[in-house]
Amino acid sequence: MCVAYGLSEGGVTEERRPETPAEENGSAAVFVVLGKQLKLLRERAGLNQREFGSLVGYGPDLVSAVERGVRTPRPEFLQKADEILQAEGLFTAVIPQVEEAMSRARTRHPEWYRGYAALEAQAVSLHDYSTMGVLGLLQTEDYSRAVFTQRHPPLDEETIEKRVADRLSRQQIFEQWPPPEFSFVMEQAVLERPIGGPKVHKEQLRQLLRIGRLRNVQLQVMPTGRHEHPALDNSFSLLTPKGKEQVGYMESHGYPRLITSREEVRILTARYGIIRAQALNPHESLDLIDRMLEER
């Protein structure tokens, strides 16, 4: 059974504004103020977002999202931030509100995507093969913004910023414990395509290196020079939600499909296994990305 969820992010269908978790329980203002306080104390400590992020275990894009109030900070983040910035309980005091927001949060994505996003948030394993661009789950803020800015027909600025914030919010899955198992295979052409320009491209390559070095992540590159290839038709994802059967997901020309048919999922799983076998292994893949970064 294949279920269509409407037009994808590139389509022209009008959508309602997705709510953030904080907006749903009326605590949005708390996180906006919290973000401003975090930025003020971080700057007083003489730390930029990258430096501070390395101390608390967040990337610079996620620190930026917290400071802008568009991402709910996790309690562990607030504990570390309080210690590092010597906030004397300023951040730990709001942990109960954070836990309340997280417990009542719904997915904040457009309706057509919410079914998959809800499954992704529960995933115990996720595997993806990408052919055209970096998977949204792996994108930096600037790369994501460049992707949405280049969409045609064009999106308005408000919609672009909503989409970017929503995409970054999905990356909380990397902070879950116990951590899900991830594997990502991307075509070499995806790494070579400088979406957003040289600066954005370099930061995206650094992001892939950071994520690819996580213990629960296997990142592989399919070399362009391979003579054989089992999946030239489309990108796809395979995920297993907790306590549920594995499902597939793909988008084609603006139309997303959630695939629940056991036979179709079996075929995608077999195809993904062949793709992984033909790709560079994870160590070779990270070495390739490292060399590409040095050349830019």
H-only helix segments in 122-197: 141-149, 157-169, 188-192
Q: Domains of the chain: which residue ranges?
A: 2-15+109-294, 21-104
Confidence of residue 116 (pLDDT cuts 50, 70, 90): confident
- Per-residue pLDDT, averaged over 121-132, amounts to 94
**Range name among 96-100, 125-129, 153-157, 258-262 with the lowest pLDDT average:** 96-100
- Per-residue pLDDT, averaged over 121-125, amounts to 92
C-alpha separations of 130 from 134, 148, 225, 238, 282 in Å:
7, 17, 16, 12, 15
Count of Cβ atoms closer than 10 Å to residue 87 Cβ: 16
**Global pTM value:** 0.67
- Per-residue pLDDT, averaged over 14-33, amounts to 51
Q: Is the pLDDT of residue 164 over 60?
A: yes
Looking at residue 260, its pLDDT comes to: 92
pLDDT in tens, 91-100: 998 888 777 7
CATH number of 2-15+109-294: 3.30.870
Backbone angles phi, psi at 251, to 5 degrees: -130, 140
CA 103 to centroid of chain Cα atoms: 20
pLDDT in tens, 38-74: 999 999 999 999 999 889 888 888 888 888 877 778 8
**Beta pairing partners, 130:** 186
Looking at residue 95, its pLDDT comes to: 85
Looking at residue 240, its pLDDT comes to: 96
DSSP category for residue 109: S
Residue with tokens 């800015």: 149
Looking at residue 109, its pLDDT comes to: 54
Average pLDDT of the chain is 84
| Superfamily of domain covering 21-104 | lambda repressor-like DNA-binding domains (1.10.260.40)
Looking at residue 287, its pLDDT comes to: 98
pLDDT in tens, 188-242: 999 999 999 999 999 999 999 999 999 999 999 999 999 888 888 889 999 999 9
Looking at residue 111, its pLDDT comes to: 55
Looking at residue 27, its pLDDT comes to: 55
